[in-house]
C-alpha cells in the first residue's frame, strides 16, 4: 500500500484505487493525477477499508475480482460506511447482471477492462467536481447559518421569516403578549428575543413555569408576601413581578395557572400594581408580560378552565411559534448547529453527518420539535466513535426507521447505555475488541474508524 500527493498544497479531495495487480493500480493512479487531489492506492481490499475509514476519500475505484474480499463486498462495506463516497467497479468479467447488481448496491459506475483511459479520467473528474460542489455547499451553509441567526433563533423557512418580522414590529410596543406553539418548539427563545428587542432589554428577564408551581404558592411566587402572612413566612419576600420591574416576565404554560390566580393576575395587568400577600399596600410595577402556552386557550375557556377576560388581555398581540414539522427546510441548519455545539461540549471532532442519517432525520415526525432534535443530536454526538454521525448513532426512535440491515440493528443493540462520555467510549472499545477476538484491524472495521484512530483511543483508555 502506498499514497502519493498530487499537489504541493494540501489536497482537499482524495481518490482511492484498489486492485490486487500492482501494475493496474499504477496505471489507474497515473491516469487521474490532478492538482488538489490525493491519489491513495491499495493492493489488498482489507487495507483499502482501513484507508476508507481513516481518510474518507471522495471516490473509490476498485477491481471486482480480488482475493479475500471481492470488489462487490468492498462496495457494500464502503456504502454502508458512507453512502456519499462514489464507488467505481472495474472488471475483466463484465456481465449485465453483475452491472445491474453493482448499481443497485450503490456503485456510481461499472467499467469493463481494458479501461478506456480518457473516459475513465473524465468519469473520475466529474465525480470529483461534484464532490467539490458539495464542499462548497457546506461552506455556504456555514455562512448561511450566521445569516439565519435571529437573536439566538435559527431559521430560514418562510414561516420563520414571517415570525421574525412580527417580532421586530411588535417588540418595541407591546405591554402583554401571547406566544402559542407546541412543547419544544422554542417559545422560550422567542420570548428572550422579544425581550432583547424591546425597551425593557436593559431590565431583567424573569421566567416562571406555571405548570411547575404548587397551586397554594402561586400568589406568593408572583406577588410576594410579608412576614407572618402564612405559616413559614419568616420574612418579607418580593414576588416575580417586583423582581422583573423594568424588565420582562415570562409566564410559561399559563394555561396551567389556577383560576383564582388568573383573577389576581388580571388585576395586576390592568392596574400595573401588585399587593404582597398579607400586605395592605400596593406597589407600582413596570413589567412587560409574555404569556406562553401549548394549550388551546379558547377550548379551555369553553371548559371554564381559563378566564375569557384574561385571555383577551394577554392575547392583544399573539405570535405563533411553528412546529419543526412545519418548517422542515430548517432541519439541516438546526442539525449542523447542534452538531457543532455538542462537538465543542464533548471535546470531539465531528465534521458532519452521513446522508443515511440525514434521511432518517428528515423522515422522523419530530413530535418533540426542536427540543427532540437537540436531544437526538446530543445523543448521536456522544455515541459517535468516528468523526461523522451515522444512523446507528441516533436514538432508536429516530434510527430504527432507517436501519438498513440486521447488522445495523445488532450494532445498536450492542451499544451500552451511556454514562459519561469517557465511560461510554471505553465500553464501546472493549466490546468491539472482545467481539473481534483482540484483532485491532477487525475491531476498527466494526467501529468504522481507522486503525490509527482505534489505537489512539485504546491508548487514551489504557487498553494497549
CB contact at 8 A, 127 and 61: no
User: How would you class 445 by CB atoms within 10 Å of its CB: exposed for 0-12, middle for 13-18, buried for 19 or more?
Assistant: buried
DSSP secondary structure, 181-227, as one string:
--TTS-HHHHHHHHHHHSTTTTS-EEEEEGGGS-GGGHHHHHHEE-T
96 or 323, higher pLDDT: 323
Mean pLDDT value across residues 360-364: 93
Residues 456, 52: Cα–Cα separation, whole Å: 17
pLDDT of residue 325: 96
149 or 426, higher pLDDT: 149
DSSP secondary structure, 420-441, as one string:
SHHHHHHHHHHHHHHHTTT-HH
pLDDT of residue 412: 39
Longest dimension (CA), the chain: 98
CB contact at 8 A, 186 and 321: yes
Mean pLDDT value across residues 278-288: 91
pLDDT of residue 383: 87
100 or 233, higher pLDDT: 100
pLDDT of residue 400: 73
pLDDT of residue 102: 87
Q: Is the pLDDT of residue 354 over 60?
A: yes
Domains of the chain: 2-144 (3.40.50.2300), 158-321 (3.40.50.300), 325-460 (1.10.8.60)
Residues 122, 120: Cα–Cα separation, whole Å: 5
Beta strands in 24-102 (DSSP E): 37-42, 59-63, 86-91
Residues 458, 436: Cα–Cα separation, whole Å: 14
pLDDT digit string, tens, across residues 84-94: 899 999 988 77
Q: Is the pLDDT of residue 3 over 50?
A: no
Number of Cβ atoms within 10 Å of the Cβ of 151 = 16
Q: Is the pLDDT of residue 56 over 60?
A: yes
pLDDT of residue 253: 96
Lookup: cell for 323: 412546529
pLDDT of residue 293: 97
* Minimum mean pLDDT range among 11-25, 89-103, 371-385: 89-103
Residues 273, 281: Cα–Cα separation, whole Å: 10
Percent of the chain with pLDDT over 70: 93
* Minimum mean pLDDT range among 19-23, 52-56, 166-170, 368-372: 52-56
* Minimum mean pLDDT range among 18-22, 82-86, 373-377, 402-406: 402-406
pLDDT digit string, tens, across residues 183-221: 999 999 999 999 999 999 999 999 999 999 988 888 889
pLDDT digit string, tens, across residues 288-299: 999 999 999 999
Q: Find all residues with CB under 8 Å of 185, minimum gap 6, and list them.
A: 294, 321, 322, 323, 324, 369, 370
Q: Is the pLDDT of residue 141 over 80?
A: no
Mean pLDDT value across residues 137-150: 79
Q: Find all residues with CB under 8 Å of 443, minimum gap 6, and list them.
A: 429, 432, 433, 435, 436, 454
pLDDT of residue 198: 97
Helix (H) or strand (E) run with residue 238 in it: strand 237-238
Residue with cell 437573536: 151
DSSP secondary structure, 339-402, as one string:
HHHHHHHHT----EE-HHHHHHHHHS--TTHHHHHHHHHHHHHHH--SSEE-GGGS-HHHHGGG
The DSSP bridge pattern shows strands 13-18 and 149-150 to be unpaired
Q: Is the pLDDT of residue 434 over 90?
A: no
**pLDDT level of residue 124 (50, 70, 90 thresholds):** very high
Percent of the chain with pLDDT over 90: 59
CB contact at 8 A, 402 and 365: no
Q: What single DSSP character describes residue 417?
A: P
Helix (H) or strand (E) run with residue 92 in it: none
Mean pLDDT value across residues 61-74: 92
Q: Provide the β-strand partners of residue 4.
A: 39
pLDDT digit string, tens, across residues 30-48: 999 999 999 999 999 999 9
CB contact at 8 A, 367 and 376: no
Mean pLDDT value across residues 150-178: 95
77 or 436, higher pLDDT: 77
Give the highest mean pLDDT range of 113-117, 420-424, 438-442. Answer: 113-117
pLDDT of residue 101: 86
pLDDT of residue 289: 97
pLDDT of residue 9: 46
Cis peptide before 114 (omega within 30 of 0): yes
Amino acid at each position: 500500500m502506498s499514497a502519493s500527493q498530487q499537489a504541493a498544497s494540501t489536497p482537499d479531495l482524495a481518490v482511492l484505487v484498489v486492485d490486487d495487480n500492482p501494475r493496474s493500480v499504477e496505471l489507474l493512479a497515473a491516469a487521474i493525477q490532478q492538482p488538489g487531489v490525493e491519489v491513495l492506492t491499495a493492493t489488498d481490499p482489507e487495507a483499502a477499508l482501513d484507508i476508507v475509514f481513516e481518510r474518507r476519500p471522495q471516490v473509490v475505484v476498485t477491481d471486482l475480482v480480488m482475493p479475500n474480499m471481492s470488489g462487490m463486498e468492498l462496495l457494500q462495506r464502503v456504502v454502508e460506511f458512507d453512502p456519499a463516497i462514489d464507488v467505481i467497479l472495474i472488471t475483466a468479467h463484465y456481465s449485465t447482471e453483475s452491472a445491474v447488481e453493482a448499481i443497485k448496491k450503490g456503485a456510481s459506475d461499472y467499467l469493463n477492462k481494458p479501461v478506456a483511459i480518457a473516459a475513465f479520467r473524465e468519469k473520475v473528474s466529474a465525480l470529483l467536481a461534484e464532490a467539490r460542489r458539495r464542499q462548497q455547499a457546506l461552506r455556504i451553509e456555514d455562512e448561511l447559518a450566521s445569516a439565519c441567526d435571529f437573536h439566538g433563533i435559527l431559521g430560514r423557512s418562510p414561516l420563520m421569516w414571517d415570525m421574525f418580522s412580527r417580532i421586530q414590529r411588535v417588540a418595541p410596543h407591546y405591554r402583554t403578549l401571547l406566544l402559542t406553539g407546541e412543547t419544544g418548539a422554542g417559545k422560550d427563545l422567542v420570548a428572550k428575543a422579544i425581550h432583547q428587542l424591546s425597551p425593557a432589554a436593559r431590565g431583567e428577564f424573569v421566567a416562571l413555569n406555571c405548570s411547575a408551581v404548587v397551586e397554594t404558592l402561586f400568589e406568593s411566587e408572583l406577588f410576594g408576601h410579608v412576614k407572618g402572612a402564612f405559616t413559614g413566612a419568616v420574612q418579607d419576600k418580593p414576588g416575580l413581578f417586583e423582581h422583573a420591574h423594568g424588565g420582562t416576565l415570562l409566564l410559561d404554560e399559563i394555561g396551567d395557572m389556577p383560576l383564582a390566580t388568573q383573577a389576581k393576575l388580571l388585576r395586576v395587568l390592568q392596574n400595573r400594581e401588585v399587593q404582597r400577600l398579607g400586605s395592605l399596600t400596593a406597589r407600582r410595577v413596570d413589567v412587560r408580560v409574555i404569556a406562553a402556552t401549548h394549550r388551546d386557550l379558547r377550548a379551555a375557556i369553553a371548559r371554564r378552565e381559563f378566564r375569557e377576560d384574561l385571555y383577551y388581555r394577554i392575547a392583544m398581540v399573539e405570535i405563533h411559534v411553528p412546529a419543526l414539522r412545519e418548517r422542515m427546510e430548517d432541519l439541516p441548519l438546526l442539525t449542523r448547529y447542534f452538531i457543532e455545539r455538542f462537538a465543542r461540549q464533548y471535546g470531539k471532532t465531528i465534521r458532519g453527518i452521513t446522508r443515511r442519517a440525514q434521511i432518517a432525520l428528515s423522515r422522523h415526525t419530530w413530535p418533540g420539535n426542536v427540543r427532540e432534535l437537540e436531544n437526538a443530536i446530543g445523543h448521536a454526538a456522544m455515541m459517535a466513535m468516528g468523526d461523522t454521525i451515522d444512523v446507528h448513532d441516533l436514538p432508536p426512535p429516530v434510527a430504527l426507521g432507517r436501519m438498513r440491515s440486521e447488522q445495523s440493528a445488532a450494532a445498536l443493540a450492542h451499544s451500552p447505555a451511556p454514562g459519561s462520555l469517557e465511560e461510554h467510549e471505553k465500553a464501546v472499545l472493549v466490546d468491539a475488541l472482545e467481539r473481534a477476538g483482540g484483532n485491532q484491524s477487525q475491531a476498527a472495521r466494526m467501529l468504522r474508524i481507522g486503525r490509527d484512530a482505534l489505537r489512539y483511543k485504546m491508548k487514551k483508555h489504557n487498553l494497549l
